[in-house]
Copies of this chain bind each other. A is one copy, B any other.
C-alpha cells in the first residue's frame, strides 16, 4: 500500500508537470514559502488548495481529496490503540447518516 503523504504526492505531480513552486504558488495566489511547506508537510493543506491543485495539474480531485481527508482522520487517531474501533464506529455513523439523509 502507498505510504506516500498528500504533500509528497503533490510534489511528485508538480515535478511531473515541470512546474516550479513559483508558478504554482502564483496560480494559487499564495506565498511560495507556504506551498513549499505544504508539500513537505510542515503546513497543513486546505481542502480549497487541494481542489485548486487538482485543477492546475488537471488530475482527478477525488483521489487527492480522499487522501486529504484520510490524513485528517489519521491525525485524530494517531497512536491510539482504539483507532481501528473508532473508525468502524465512524463508518457505521456515516452509513446511518447516508441512509437517513433525506428523511
Contact size range, A: 20 to 34
Which chain A residues have a beta carbon within 8 Å of chain B's beta carbons? 1, 3, 62, 65-70, 72-74, 76-77, 80, 82-96, 98
Minimal beta-carbon separation of A4 from chain B (angstroms): 11
User: Can you give 9 contacting A-B residue pairs, CB < 8 Å?
Assistant: A3-B96, A67-B89, A70-B87, A70-B90, A73-B73, A76-B76, A84-B94, A84-B98, A87-B91
| CB–CB B85/A66 < 8 A | yes
The copy count of this chain in the complex is 2
Q: Are B96's CB and A1's CB within 8 A?
A: yes
The answer to whether residues A66 and B89 also contact, given A73-B77, A76-B72 and a CB cut-off of 8 A, is: yes
Judge whether B94 and A87 touch: CB under 8 Å: yes
Residue from B76, B77, B86, B95 in contact with A84 in the complex, judged by beta carbons closer than 8 Å: B95
